[in-house]
Structure 1
Amino acid sequence: MGTGVLICTYAAFGILLVNVILTIVAAAVAVARHDQRTMSSATIYKGSCDRTKAWTTGLHLLINVLSTIVLGASSYCMQCLTSPSRVDVDRAHGQRVWLDIGVASVRNLAWADWPRRTLWLVLLVTSIPIHLMYAIVLASANFDFDRPPAHYNSSFEECFESNTAMSMSTFYADLPSFDNLTREECIRRYAMDFPTDLGTLILVTSNLTAANQRLQWIYWGNSVANDGQIMTSNYDWLCAQFGVLSSSCTPPKLLSALDQWAASPLVPWAEYPVEYCLSRKLTEQCELQFSPAICLAVIVCNVFKVLCMLLTARSDRTEIFLTVGDAVASFLTQPDPSTERMCLTSRLNLTQGAQPWRSRREGYLQIAVKDASRPQARAALPPRQRWMRAVHPSQWIMTIGVYVKPLLCLCHSTTFSALWQLGFGSATPYTIFSLPHSNVVSMSLLANTPQIAVSIGYFLYNNLLTHMLLAAEHDDYASQRKALRVSWPQGSQRSSYYLSLPYRYSIPLMIASMLLHWLVSGSLFYVAINPIDMLGNTVHANQVITCGYGPIAIVFALILGGVMTSTVVGLGMRRFASQMPIAGSCSAAVSAACH
């Protein structure tokens, strides 16, 4: 089939090896360090949240690079499989049906044999889960507790231990390890979303009339779940003591009301002014996880891709029209009798008249060339036209729609600074969905669903750009003398590894696609929140598995989509170099111009 398909096969095989090695290493680490053997999810790192986030960013970039390369290789091989041979074109022209040359065309599959159709379909289906490689955990939780009593009896000590998971003696023994914080320092440290290294908090009051013989609950602390619903603010307990609604409770407002801070137990109602705080720090327990099941699915898809590409490269088809130069060389050597006296016919002209040419095969209607009325030779040339005329309006609508429709989300009046404070790919109570009956696999698949839309957008964008550049390449032959670019050069003909999209266009497109995939991965992402008790142990029964969204990542993804849309529209406004009728990818129009 050509050197290009072999290069794609080698690239896909190399990525397959990388996926296998990474999966084996991750599984070994999960078993050796964390003794986890489940298929749904496994922890490969537990500790510093900064390091977890750095690993997350690095892995996302690596995944996007690998998946973009595989996606580009699949697109290349799929276009080769749909490329017709001279035999296919002659059969189609005999029925007044034109085929696509030099572009990815689903219509051409009607003239392909079943092995080619099967290979094309497998390559298409296996492109879907490429971006579903790893599920990342980026969040944890903390809890806060009320002050201890100054005096206690045996029954109270039992009550204290059952409610706080530690004895009074242990509690007092650990007091020297607590940090002494002013009220301002206390608010700055605890008025934040999902603090990952904060433990027990003691509020110290100067009110000596506080009850010493019973626990008095101020609030439920920073609980991540309340009747299955994630709280709107991770420091609601702090807001409640100021009498500030959580919807308008912000750290600046809390700091401005320091003098009003009073601890208020729920029962009995009382107010104890807070003098200072004692805070205990914990070791961070953020986790980096991956899904062995999803990794195995990706590996299986990569195996099928490599096999399909290898079979495509070993194809014994001859005189294949991979580029428009291949078709021109063939039609100049062996003129096509079905397009005689049509040398100035464009693709649009072919669809007009009493018996127009068709773009689709119709088995029940056979029209012989000798019975069809031939169009008269055209003597007048049309004016120079724009590149966008080489693409059917429906293709423009589908491609632009994929990138423009999400831009409507930017119509909201939220300020950029407010979105930036929410972070990139960071979990906050305001950006987490409350989804019932969620699990690791379902949330991982949901988080990566937008990646499928981005992949579809890449195929549409690539196809639209290919149509315009192919028409421009064919038009150049009318304005300047140049060697034909063919797949198998002879004499002065030239060759290249690309089909119809030059490197100066394909490489920026792949980089933009990779960047867009990365931004989308930060726009909707998998989140697991693991509550930690007073002793630093994970409370698995209260674990929250859901999805979160990153507003700032969404904004940048939409901006990039808008830039890509503006770029392709700007290219479409360019004019062709000559007045040559637009043939585009139409095999009949290319054949007619060769007479």
Structure 2
Amino acid sequence: MATMEIPLISRDASETQSNGEEIWRESTAKKRSDFKSYTLTAWRFTVTSGVLAGTVILLVNIITLAVIYGQHDSINYSIPFYTGPCRTAKGITIGSHLVINVLSTILLAYSNFSMQCLASPTRKEVDAAHKKHHWLSIGTPSIRNVFFVSRIKAALWLLLGVSSFPLHLIWNSTVFETKVSYDYLAISVTENFLQGADWTIPRSYDLDKAFSQNEVPRMKDWTTNDINHALYALQNETRAGNLTKLEVKECIEKYHTEFLSDRRHVLLVSDNSTSSDSLESRPATENSSVGTIYYAANPTGGGDSDASDISLYDWMCDSESGSQAPGQRCPLSTFNYSSWFPSYWSGQEEIGGGQFGWSTNGPIRYCYSETMPERCNVSIIPMFLMIVIICNVIKIVCFAVALYIAKASDHQPLCTTGDAIQSFLQHPDHYTQGRCLAAKDDYEKWLPRSREWIYRPVTVGDVRTGGQYRWRKAANEWQWMLFLLIAAILVAFVIAGSATAGTIDKRYISSAKLTEMTKSYSGNRINEHSMNVLHGFLIGNTPQLVVSYVYLALNNLMSTMLAMAEWCKYATGGQKGLRVSSPVSNTAQRSTYFLSVPFKWAIPLTVALTILHWLVSQFIFFAKIDIYYLMPGLATKIHPLGYLYQSPLAGVLAGSVGGALLIALILAALVAKYPANIPLSGCCSASIAAACHPSRVLLGDGTPVRQFEPNLSHRKLKWGVVEKPDEGADGIGHGTFAADEVSALIEGELYA
């Protein structure tokens, strides 16, 4: 029986399937190519790179939180992830803050850029605004536009703005350092003590010749046995060689500090003969190898305001150096190293310290110091980092949705001056007919609205007054006044605050490190009572909001002046192609990745503002300090504190950077000039539209006598006079864009 092979598919069907697959591949490739060309063009490339940068920053934040949260325990709203030497902790904190400032600057810069794109109106939205006699901003950041763009774009703009506030307030505070400082005993002893000699502790009936530990607030719970136990422990540690011997100069330098993080108890040794002579007359049984015992207490705040200048090292002062003005208590330069006798003890009991024991009058020959492992730590606040992550996600979503809306919409936003010019050349705006000399400030009128919106006959023109305007003319006077007022107040506040803090010890301004608290513990402390971490960081970062306003206002002024400068360039030199968002291939049109501020201006400005943000964060900052109280028997108890401080050096530098930015802006505004042969019409949709009419004369049906040639916006253009005043019967000329030669405006002539 014959069999017949049946093919699985016929040749025709196979060819059809092959063709279909090829068409699908070509279609997919075309879509990818279109998407790639769309997202990599002009401002869309910048927003697309914002999505990528935001995603990388998000991953960094999530990985950081996950790793630290998984490996360390949470303590009081924070997670310590490093404990060790204070110098290392400080380096980690500084490095973290630098990274945070760079990442936050990148994310906030993309956010501000996207907000400006979202607030850029479409031609349809511009026409709707012009119909109501309102103008919109072109190429500059604007809140005005938000009320005229679509609801979805307005909502995205608002989300981006709101999500920026937490970043300004808390991101820089996500990582912080906790300093450590020990309370300690400074004990004057004779050399016999080091050899195992005995001592006596004053009894109640000896108080006419000595001091009791009951006069030391933080030692009221100590018994005589507790004190003897501490003395025996230190004596044994010394004899075992576990304490470090220091010469007098080194001893003073090590303990002359507000925060003692690497040492604790110190024995102040005088020779036997001097010690014996120094003890007040008393029975022989009181001839002790231990003299005065000082309890050096760290100030904790919240006490008597008269004790605001009491320091941890006050026990070291003598009667002369200790009487210096507040903030200059016994500076190192006043010590006599060859005859050091710590005898000044005034006010320490007000902060918990004090002295007791027998009076000692002999100079110190050398010291034995107890070294301690440093316990400074670096922590993150997971709540803050989670808020940052949420804001990060919001921004990425807003960036992506903004791109999608722009691609899906039939009406593209007018993001640059060139976009607006192209639109008005293709479809002239009939609300601004016959106003070719109308400038931006002609439409910037308060109610009643500008007369420029009122219809007038074509036989009426405006007189060309001539003259050049400086860059400051691009923005409103009230914008300048408000910005300069707030910026000047901020700079003055920072400098004044630094000067006030600097009076405590002016030498410290030149030697201080930005991330250290000043050597005047309470003098540069802003708040009297301790506060918790969350409260302290929120208050400490509030000045960042003011700096953020200065940045936004400065960016707005720079955008306005530079956008106006770009507009004016179309009337100088030769013809130029329009800078648009979507340039047509093989034409004179061009494209850039910025909207109005070129990178040569934007990059230095962004770097300067980043530095200013960081300096302000160091000028007023929250510091967490763990004080180690001494308990009976030399045990310790941690007492956490939190205060706001100000750093004079950071304030001086912040004031200098802010002042330099302010001076640079003022110089640019007052020195640079716009050319005289074009009205200052940039940035304003109405004035740009008024400068883009083909002719001032209309036919009976309302169409201009002279029409723009097709695709004029694709060619190199120049703005100037195309209808001279002496060519018409009514003596009125007209200026607009043209690819051919144009003439300059003539002062005193009429134009419409």
**TM-score when scaled to structure 1?**
0.89
What secondary structure, in the 3-state scheme, does the structure 2 residue paired with 1:539 have? strand
Within 5 Å, give how 1:295-374 maps onto structure 2: 295-315=385-405, 316-317=408-409, 318-351=411-444, 356-357=449-450
Matched, 1:553 2:650: yes
Q: Which of 603, 609, 621 is the aligned partner of 1:525?
A: 621
Shift in Å, 1:198: 1.4
Do the aligned partners of residues 557 and 358 (structure 1) sit closer, same or farther apart at CA in structure 2, a change above 3 Å counting? farther
Matched, 1:472 2:565: yes
Do the aligned partners of residues 306 and 233 (structure 1) sit closer, same or farther apart at CA in structure 2, a change above 3 Å counting? same
What secondary structure, in the 3-state scheme, does the structure 1 residue paired with 2:547 have? helix
Q: Aligned partner of 2:555: which letter?
A: N
Matched, 1:275 2:365: yes
Do the aligned partners of residues 110 and 498 (structure 1) sit closer, same or farther apart at CA in structure 2, a change above 3 Å counting? same
C-alpha contact 1:343 1:377 (8 A) present in aligned 2 = no
Separation in structure 2 between the aligned mates of residue 447 and residue 354 of structure 1, nearest angstrom: 42
Shift in Å, 1:182: 2.7
* Residue 362 (structure 1) aligns with: none
Do the aligned partners of residues 240 and 531 (structure 1) sit closer, same or farther apart at CA in structure 2, a change above 3 Å counting? farther
Separation in structure 2 between the aligned mates of residue 251 and residue 433 of structure 1, nearest angstrom: 23
Shift in Å, 1:353: 12
Within 5 Å, give how 1:427-576 maps onto structure 2: 427-428=517-518, 429=521, 430-436=523-529, 438-480=531-573, 481-490=575-584, 491-532=587-628, 539-540=637-638, 542-572=639-669, 573-576=671-674
User: Structure 2 unaligned runs (5+)?
Assistant: 1-42, 204-221, 280-285, 345-354, 694-752
Do the aligned partners of residues 553 and 352 (structure 1) sit closer, same or farther apart at CA in structure 2, a change above 3 Å counting? closer
Within 5 Å, give how 1:4-403 maps onto structure 2: 4-29=46-71, 31=72, 36-38=73-75, 40-131=77-168, 132-133=170-171, 134-145=174-185, 146-147=187-188, 150-152=197-199, 159=223, 162-163=226-227, 166=230, 168-169=232-233, 171-175=235-239, 176-205=241-270, 206-208=274-276, 210=279, 211=286, 218-225=293-300, 228=303, 232-239=310-317, 244-245=322-323, 247=326, 248-256=328-336, 259=339, 261-263=341-343, 265-266=355-356, 271-315=361-405, 316-317=408-409, 318-351=411-444, 356-357=449-450, 376-403=460-487
C-alpha contact 1:224 1:529 (8 A) present in aligned 2 = no
Q: Aligned partner of 1:14: which letter?
A: V
Q: Aligned partner of 1:10: which letter?
A: L
Do the aligned partners of residues 388 and 161 (structure 1) sit closer, same or farther apart at CA in structure 2, a change above 3 Å counting? farther
C-alpha contact 2:302 2:529 (8 A) present in aligned 1 = no
1:269-293 deviation line (CA, Å, top 9, x unaligned): 5534323221121111111111111
Greater RCO (Cα-Cα under 8 Å, separation 6 or more)? 1
Larger mean Cα displacement after TM superposition, 186-195 or 249-258: 249-258
Q: Aligned partner of 1:62: which letter?
A: V
Q: Aligned partner of 1:249: which letter?
A: R
C-alpha contact 2:315 2:342 (8 A) present in aligned 1 = no
C-alpha contact 1:218 1:237 (8 A) present in aligned 2 = no
Q: Aligned partner of 1:348: which letter?
A: D
Do the aligned partners of residues 383 and 164 (structure 1) sit closer, same or farther apart at CA in structure 2, a change above 3 Å counting? farther
Separation in structure 1 between the aligned mates of residue 111 and residue 559 of structure 2, nearest angstrom: 16
1:326-384 deviation line (CA, Å, top 9, x unaligned): 0000001111111111011112233579974399xxxxxxx9x66x7889322425211
C-alpha contact 1:151 1:212 (8 A) present in aligned 2 = no
Larger mean Cα displacement after TM superposition, 10-19 or 260-269: 260-269
Separation in structure 2 between the aligned mates of residue 113 and residue 321 of structure 1, nearest angstrom: 14
C-alpha contact 2:524 2:646 (8 A) present in aligned 1 = yes
Separation in structure 1 between the aligned mates of residue 459 and residue 297 of structure 2, nearest angstrom: 79
Q: Aligned partner of 1:509: which letter?
A: L
C-alpha contact 2:202 2:358 (8 A) present in aligned 1 = no
Same amino acid, percent of matched pairs = 29
Separation in structure 2 between the aligned mates of residue 192 and residue 353 of structure 1, nearest angstrom: 61
The total of aligned residue pairs comes to 579
Higher percent of residues as strand: 2
Do the aligned partners of residues 216 and 126 (structure 1) sit closer, same or farther apart at CA in structure 2, a change above 3 Å counting? farther
Aligned residues: CA RMSD: 3.1
What secondary structure, in the 3-state scheme, does the structure 1 residue paired with 2:265 have? strand
Separation in structure 2 between the aligned mates of residue 198 and residue 469 of structure 1, nearest angstrom: 59
Q: Aligned partner of 1:505: which letter?
A: W
